Amino acid sequence: MMHTQEWVVEERYTTKRGDYRVFSTPSMTQLVESTANQLAAPHLKPGQGQVGVLVTIRHMGPTPMGKKVRAEAELTAIDRRKLSFKVKVFDDVEQVGEAEHDRFVVDLDKYFEKLKKKLDPQSQGGKQDRS
């Protein structure tokens, strides 16, 4: 399975290099995760969600602000709830990045319950007060 997503490199996705604003590595990471997420989302069962757990990324070349970048994600493996992806990132001229990305399918009820415990000041993140 494959999915492609394209972004215009807006200022919010850039960092400054000399006199230029270029596509930043954190933004490339966001594009990689977003594209893999979109590939997997339609195939989840009701009550399931997904979270990113690992990104290994290589940023290979600059892309100036105003140009387009395109991520092409391929699902390469499924190991129980772990989904593994290879993602290539291109601009109008060349390949500018590549990544390996793992996502994990989660039960949303359990995920939200864990999150709520961390937000509840009485639970202290699930830790007991030993004083």
pLDDT at 123 over 70: no
CB 39 within 8 A of CB 2: yes
- Give tens-digit pLDDT for 41-99: 999 999 999 999 999 999 999 999 999 999 999 999 999 999 999 999 999 999 999 99
- Reported as type and span, the H/E element at residue 58 is strand 48-59
Note the pTM of the prediction, 2 decimals: 0.89
What positions carry a catalytic annotation?
25, 33, 59
* Of 58, 84, 70, 61, residue with least CA distance to 1: 84
Taking each continuous run of H as one helix and of E as one strand, the counts in the chain are 2, 7
Give the helix, strand, coil percentages of the chain, each rounded to 5: 30, 50, 25
